[in-house]
Every structure is written in C-alpha cells, then in structure tokens.
Amino acid sequence: MLKASVDSGLYKGYQVGSDGSTTTTCISHFQFADDTLIVGEKSWANIRVLKANLILFESISGLKVNFHKSLLVGVNIAESWLVDATKYGIKDGHGG
C-alpha cells in the first residue's frame, strides 16, 4: 500500500543518491521481521497519508497497528513540528 502511495505521488519518500548524480533512489520503507521503518519527507501530507495507510492496513489485514508503540522521529526536524504532528495519534519518539 505504501509503495502504491509513493508511485501515485501521494507519499514522498526520502531521495538518496550521490552528489552530482542525476540518478536518485526513493526510499519509503524498510521491513524487518515484524517491524517496519517508514521514512519520508517532512510534510503534513505525508503524515496524513501515513496514518491513512496504517488504518487501511488494519482494516484489510485484520491485524492491529499498536499506535502506542509507534514512534514519529525526525532528523534535523524542529521539535515543535514533531509535537504538532502527534495530533495524528502517533507518539513523538523524542519523548513528546
């Protein structure tokens, strides 16, 4: 579902590539055993799409996403922005 959101332009992953290269790669998520790390650009649209994807996952799979264990962590993102983003029901990973 997240890949479909990226492919359709609804969710913006993180662009990586070497300096001066015209080729970049979009990374949106990493999956490990029973954990998923989702990465993307800082935007309210991304937060909304991410939350919608998690709720849709619950509905389609019948599994539950434990939002109390889910963390929102930013790198070089203002703490105040992360605190505002927690209004979408995802805990701030910096203790907010």
Give pLDDT tens digits for 47-67. Answer: 889 889 989 999 999 998 887
Cα 43 to Cα 15, 68, 71, distances in angstroms:
14, 22, 16
Looking at residues 5-20, what average pLDDT do you find?
85
Q: What are the extents of the domains in the chain? A: 2-92
Contact partners, residue 53, CB within 8 Å, separation at least 6: 1, 2, 5, 11
| Number of other residues whose CB lies within 10 A of the CB of residue 43 | 11
Q: How many CA atoms lie within 13 Å of 20's alpha carbon, on the beta-carbon side?
A: 0
CA distance 15 to 28: 9
Residue 85: is its pLDDT beyond 70? yes
Q: Which residues pair with 91 in a beta bridge?
A: 71
pTM for this structure? 0.76
Give pLDDT tens digits for 21-50. Answer: 677 888 898 888 888 888 998 888 988 898
